[in-house]
Amino acid sequence: MQRREFIRQTAAGAAMLSVPAVTAMPATAPKTTKMGIVVHSYASRWQSKTESGTYPSLRNALDLLDHCHKLGAGGIQTIVDDSWTSDFSRQVRNRSMTLNLYVEGSVAMPKTTQDTADFARRIGRAREAGVTVVRTVCSTGRRYESYHSDEAFRAFKKNAVALMQAVEPILKKQGVRLAIENHKDWRADELASVMKQLASEWVGVTIDFGNNFALLDDPMNLVQSLAPYVLSTHVKDMAMDEYADGFRLSEVPMGEGVLDLPAMVALCKKYNPAVTFSLEMITRDPLLIPCLTANYWQTFPTLPATNLAETLRTVRQHPQPKGLPTVSQLTPDERLAAEDQNIRQCLAYSREKLGMV
């Protein structure tokens, strides 16, 4: 059976595959189409040290579940690390089932193909929590900042593929799927090529709707290329403006940016009807994308100039009269308030414009 057909058939069926090691574990997939929330949306509030009666710190996944339930969200994507015990995993599973919220994990990849014990333990903790999909990244840094030659990026790619292959038996044993995010490292065609090379039931992608603007990658092409492999999503809207070395890129409340969110959501549903949609609205200063500097191009030796032209055309066709939002000038309390407002605005958009109710 072809992998794409496998995903189409299984996604609409049971939330977990029939694997003996996990059949006794209750699934957490809710009977809902509501937008969930990625923990990174709470960059200020997550484990915050700021004392706030209005926006108290979200200390762990249990706090995040309770908070998202109050907001009317559909679930969470949260970090699973070595602080998770079996008891805590069971608490997360029980709370999510009680609240009818889905839970997805976010885990770090192992550093080497021989050192997978920590990864296996985290996947086990995720499974105990009822998680069936965990998101990960292959590079913690942005491509144009972390790699300074085509050779360096090709070495990264080779190592990343080797790590995916090394963890596949762990995923299969635990009945948990791994979703690789386009984390300002992979262009759409590159990550799609890796997925085709792996042809794995257990490794797919987390599609981040906005990240690949930073790599001069058309967002609709991104979703069209990766939707056949989609296991989870980071939904966001993006706005941009120019600066001397390129353009600035910023998450903005959904509906205020340039992305065709209804079309992107529909494409993901087409290939995986059971896919979750998780909001990643990061309230922060704009990112600088220095695409007019020589250093930026060191890992793109064959990228056509048309990609640059099309991206800059998009920037210029969507000017921001009020400028891009910034938070560095705000007090900690003001940042918390701005973050909360942005998330609530996005959830309202998902209900009113995307039908996620």
pLDDT exceeds cutoff 60 at 20: no
The number of C-alpha atoms within 13 Å of 120 and in the hemisphere containing its C-beta is 13
Q: What's the mean pLDDT in 232-244?
A: 98
- What share of the chain has pLDDT > 70, as a percent? 91
Q: Give the span between the Cα atoms of 240 and 243, in whole angstroms.
A: 10
* Each residue's pLDDT tens digit, 80-100: 999 999 999 999 999 999 999
Q: Give the span between the Cα atoms of 242 and 244, in whole angstroms.
A: 7
| Relative orientation angle of helices 3-11 and 261-271, to the nearest 10 degrees | 100
Phi and psi angles of residue 78, each rounded to the nearest 5 degrees, phi first: -135, 160
Q: What is the pLDDT of residue 313?
A: 98
Q: What is the pLDDT of residue 33?
A: 84
- DSSP 3-state of 31: coil
What is the DSSP code (8-state) at residue 131? -
Q: What's the mean pLDDT in 34-43?
A: 98
pLDDT exceeds cutoff 80 at 30: no
Q: What's the mean pLDDT in 158-174?
A: 98
Q: Give the span between the Cα atoms of 351 and 354, in whole angstroms.
A: 6
pLDDT exceeds cutoff 60 at 356: yes
Q: Which pLDDT band, with edges at 50, 70 and 90, does 2 fall under?
A: very low
Q: Which pLDDT band, with edges at 50, 70 and 90, does 279 fall under?
A: very high
Structural domains of the chain ordered from first start: 3-9+28-238+252-286+330-352 (3.20.20.150)
- Listed residue (257, 281, 258, 278) closest to 268, CA to CA: 278
Q: What's the mean pLDDT in 259-281?
A: 98
Q: What is the pLDDT of residue 352?
A: 97
Average pLDDT, the chain: 92
* Each residue's pLDDT tens digit, 45-57: 999 999 999 999 9
Query: For 140-187, where are the alpha helices, taking DSSP H only?
Result: 143-146, 150-174
Lowest mean pLDDT among 30-34, 163-167, 350-354: 30-34
Q: Which pLDDT band, with edges at 50, 70 and 90, does 32 fall under?
A: low
Q: What is the pLDDT of residue 306?
A: 97
- Listed residue (117, 55, 110, 65) closest to 88, CA to CA: 65
Cβ contact 205:180 at 8 Å: yes
pLDDT exceeds cutoff 50 at 16: no
What is the layout of strands, in order, in the sheet containing 203-208? 230-234, 203-208, 177-181, 133-136, 102-106, 75-79, 36-38, 278-279
Q: Which pLDDT band, with edges at 50, 70 and 90, does 339 fall under?
A: very high
pLDDT exceeds cutoff 80 at 8: no
pLDDT exceeds cutoff 80 at 14: no
Supply 243's token pair: 């600066």
Q: Give the span between the Cα atoms of 321 and 328, in whole angstroms.
A: 20
Q: What is the pLDDT of residue 114?
A: 96
pLDDT exceeds cutoff 50 at 137: yes
Supply 90's token pair: 């069971």
- Listed residue (190, 178, 352, 205) closest to 267, CA to CA: 205
Cβ contact 273:233 at 8 Å: no
Supply 18's token pair: 């029939």
* Each residue's pLDDT tens digit, 205-237: 999 999 999 999 999 999 999 999 999 999 999
Q: What is the pLDDT of residue 19?
A: 32
Q: What's the mean pLDDT in 131-148?
A: 97
Q: What is the pLDDT of residue 165?
A: 98
- How far, CA to CA in Å, does 245 sit from each of 21, 211, 224? 53, 19, 29
Q: Give the span between the Cα atoms of 39 and 280, in whole angstroms.
A: 8
